[in-house]
Structure 1
């Protein structure tokens, strides 16, 4: 995805409420904000990536409906990370206890927390290095487990708190480990 970066800090920094209002006033655009306060305008994905995203999300939805362990979020959800960045992973999951600890306003706006799990699916126009930096940022801000799926190279990078990144070459499945107990993602449809 092509990203446009706008730095308004030299003119006027935008606070959390102003960023929220900017997003609400421009629903046709997808914004993120990095820890430096720069606004990132994200382009939409193509059909193949969008289809793969929804197929992956379906597996998570079915698992989560059975376990009722947390709340799932799609790529339209923006999270306010502890470092000040506002990020929208392709898929995110938050333990139900943490979600229930938020106020109604925090749930309605951009939840001020790092999800427990995030997934990013690289589209053909994404820069791998940009996504890798984003996943490292997630982990540094409290995400426990993060997956970066690259269908072009048939690789999955797994990021965990306090551990080195692991790279898997065309795995058949991937476990949600202790973060997503009992969840296993099959890559049969993803590698097609």
Structure 2
């Protein structure tokens, strides 16, 4: 099943209403586009879920060792500057930026764009929609983003102000100066 998009042109949910909708329907995963379209995300299968967990584990271990920031799972929704509410498969925010948020902002959907995001394409994900989402992340201020699609055995690397770089799998990805010392080995994808 692919994601389902509901056009809510005549019903504009406030941020609080969207938050409550998500809280009242915790068995579903939602995103909201900058234009207010409600996106109901389909669950992933075992292979994709396992790959996503491995990505988060690798990022989390690096972060625990460096203590440079905070790691987030796909269950976290970020309120982007353009008004979209997005949930990357894995995300990271630099410590000082995260700690500048109020306790209320941290508790609900943080109004901040991560510094780094990863998206893992599952078999049912539309590649063009994911690429648009990556562009949206960059426009929101994300500094580095990786779109991994095992189906083509490739990863797309997105950086601020640069063209997309494509690498074939297996490969090693560097966190560059955004995640100093972080290396992700994508030999098992």
TM-score by length of 2: 0.98
Q: Deviations 1:18-44 (Å, cap 9, x if unpaired)?
A: 100100011010000000001000010
The residue correspondences of 1:73-152 to structure 2 (distance < 5 A) are 73-152=72-151
1:45 — aligned with what? 44
List runs of 5+ in structure 1 lacking aligned partners: none
Runs of 4+ off more than 2 Å: none
1:9 Cα offset (Å): 2.1
The answer for the alignment partner of 1:7 in structure 2 is 7
Aligned to 2:169: 170
Aligned length: 189
Runs of 5+ unmatched residues, structure 2: none
What is the CA distance between 1:8 and its match in structure 2? Answer: 1.9
Q: Shift of the alpha carbon at 1:61?
A: 1.1
Aligned-residue CA RMSD in angstroms? 0.8
Is the 1:156–1:171 Cα contact (8 Å) retained in structure 2? no
For residues 162 and 13 of structure 1, the distance between their equivalents in structure 2, rounded to whole angstroms, comes to: 33
The aligned counterpart of 2:19 is 20
| Whole-Å separation in 2 of the counterparts to 1:109 and 1:124 | 30
Tell me by how many angstroms 1:187 deviates.
1.1
SS in 2 for 1:22: helix
- CA–CA distance in 2 between the matches of 1:183 and 1:44? 28
> For the residues of structure 2 that align with 1:122 and 1:33, how far apart are their CA atoms?
19
Alpha-carbon shift at residue 169 of structure 1 (Å): 1.3
Distance between the aligned counterparts of 2:52 and 2:181, measured in 1? 21
